[in-house]
Amino acid sequence: MRIRKKKTTVTADFEQFLKDNNCTYDIEHEDNATIYHFEFQAAHFVAAIRKQNDCVEVTYPTMASAPMSHLDLVRTKCNERNNSNILFKFTYSIDHEDNVVNVHMSFFNNQVTTEQMVNQLKAAFHFQREWHKDYDEAVSIAKDNDTLDLESELYKHQREMFMLRRLEMRHQLDSSAASIAAGTGTLPLWQMLETVSPLPQALLLFMTVNTVSGQERIEKVEDIRNYDLRRALVEGEGQKARLTRDYAILDLHYKQGDDQQPRMTTIALTAEGADDHSIYTRVTVTHVPRNASRMNSLNNENRQPHSVSLLIALDRSDDKKRQQEFDYMWSDAKLKARNGEYDSLSEEQFMLGQVFAAHTAYNLYWGQQLFHAGRYYEAILHLENVFNSLRENFFEMKSQDKQVFMETAYKLGFCYNELGLPKQAFYYLDLMASDGNIRHTMELVNSMANSKDLRLFSYTEGVMDEVKHNFSEMEELPENIKDFINFLRRRRGYAYIDFNQLDKAEKIFTQMLDEEDNADYAINELAYIKKLRQQRGENTSPEQDNELPCIGPTDGPPF
């Protein structure tokens, strides 16, 4: 006779796990489940076994806690973990009595073995440590921005860091810039050119507009200057606006300075589609290179191709609603600032609350909104008005007002870098060369590297020396400082290539090959160096390059 093996239950298996690990526990019986409160390695857990005795859900109820003011960040972090973790579920609850948010972590099992349960509980401790590390870093970022609006500030910080990394160019990549500008008003041709690609001392002759319908010639200077780029391919207003053509080619003819030879700049407008909110047009400005002559050598900037590209958009929004939105946000920011409620203000609201001139405040609000939306060209049009207004009273400013001024300058520098105009960016970024803000320093270094500015070497050397002074060992560096040092090393290596110091660059990037954060970038740059040597007929094991004077010591590891 065959003896049937007795089927064990989830309850019996779970209680066997508790005994095997000497866990103390209490039991509560409810209508639909049995609840176990047990201790495992000095941590308190709760297990619920359904009445059907077919599964168990284990919860770590005190995994973490945070003040109520951090609720948005807790919610964001729970969502992030739930999207990336298939083993554990992350939830939170609000303790109104203690005014805190408690974070919980739980997992679910249909079968229980002692080994499996031990491994899962140890994994819970691992994810608890990961949570605290990630969360503490997010809180630190928010505090660095002087705000408790943690979720929005974290997003903005992460986006800015992503954009800063994107501006960390690699050789052999296309360096043309693209940006989005949007609005409801006119966008005159000449205003755009003065911002992104100026034509100093230009005497306008005429402009032709070439479309599928034919050619139009415009000769009046004012009509040329005021040609509306937003509506070149669009007809109608508001929700009735629509694209009526796919492209237009503008050929602008002019003379420049004392040069009597006519020149031409081409502005290509191409339709980039539409959505419920906006109609998009790409604008690409190209200055036709000059012929070589005694006064215009091959190395002259006039002989080099120059092009810049950006996206503009005609918004279908209502100007009245935009004004109402600004009025509400400005009034709210001023009221909170007046009442000293700084903890409830985001960075943008704090800045807005320090400005009391309506025109300046309006430009500051929309400049910031467009900046964070990635609409850098239109953001410049607003933020330069703010910068010019505040600059007049710089020496009478209080510290909070100077903070608004400096952050406006930083955003302007950022915008010009995004448009591929590092020299214009440097004008604003140099104002904060020594303020200790990592974001500001990275943007300044990007600006210098991308414009082949010799000052990059002495400036980055000074920054790295300051870090070395404060931290004696590499292991002592916080993660964000390590990332910053790696960024500086990559930028210096990039710049050495631009100045033909290939040995120095090769040494830097060879050291990076075994570094996880730098290896991909280093492989790309080393391949570029090899290509340069082959083009020059050099041996791939080169002799020492000519020294570049007044740069600083040969680069090596940061410590």
Note whether 96 and 197 are same-domain residues: no
pLDDT for residue 158 is more than 60: no
Three-class secondary structure assignment of 277-316: CEEEEEEEEEECCCCCCCCCCCCCHHHCCEEEEEEEEEEC
The answer to whether residue 16 is domain-embedded is yes
Domain total of the chain: 3
User: Is residue 205 classed as helix, strand or coil in its secondary structure?
Assistant: strand
**With the C-alpha atoms ordered 157, 161, 162, 163, is the resulting torsion angle positive or negative?**
positive
Q: Yes or no: say if 480 and 449 are a contact pair by the CB < 8 Å rule.
A: no
pLDDT tier at 181, thresholds 50, 70, 90: very low
Q: What's the rounded Cα separation, in Å, for the pair 330 and 342?
A: 14
When mean pLDDT is compared across 214-218, 335-339, 397-401, 520-524, the lowest value belongs to 335-339
Note whether 324 and 312 are same-domain residues: no
Instruction: List pLDDT tens digits, range 378-421.
Output: 889 889 999 998 888 888 878 777 888 888 999 999 998 888 88
Instruction: List pLDDT tens digits, range 4-51.
Output: 444 457 888 889 899 999 999 999 988 888 999 999 988 999 999 887
Note whether 333 and 444 are same-domain residues: yes
The answer to whether residue 49 is domain-embedded is yes
pLDDT for residue 270 is more than 80: yes
Residue 313: exposure state from Cβ atoms within 10 A (0-12, 13-18, ≥19): buried
The answer to whether residue 142 is domain-embedded is no
Q: What's the rounded Cα separation, in Å, for the pair 557 and 553?
A: 12
Three-class secondary structure assignment of 3-30: CCCCCCCHHHHHHHHHHHCCCCEEEEEC
| Residue whose entry in the numeric block shows the structure tokens 């709760």 | 46
pLDDT of residue 309: 80
Note whether 48 and 115 are same-domain residues: yes
The answer to whether residue 547 is domain-embedded is no
Note whether 436 and 460 are same-domain residues: yes
- Show the tokens assigned to 56: 């168990």
pLDDT of residue 408: 92
pLDDT tier at 304, thresholds 50, 70, 90: low
Instruction: List pLDDT tens digits, range 219-255.
Output: 999 999 999 998 889 888 877 888 888 999 999 999 9
User: Is residue 33 classed as helix, strand or coil in its secondary structure?
Assistant: strand
pLDDT for residue 328 is more than 80: no
pLDDT for residue 454 is more than 50: yes
pLDDT for residue 538 is more than 70: yes
The answer to whether residue 338 is domain-embedded is yes
484 is in which domain, residue-wise? 320-535
| Average pLDDT of every residue of the chain | 79
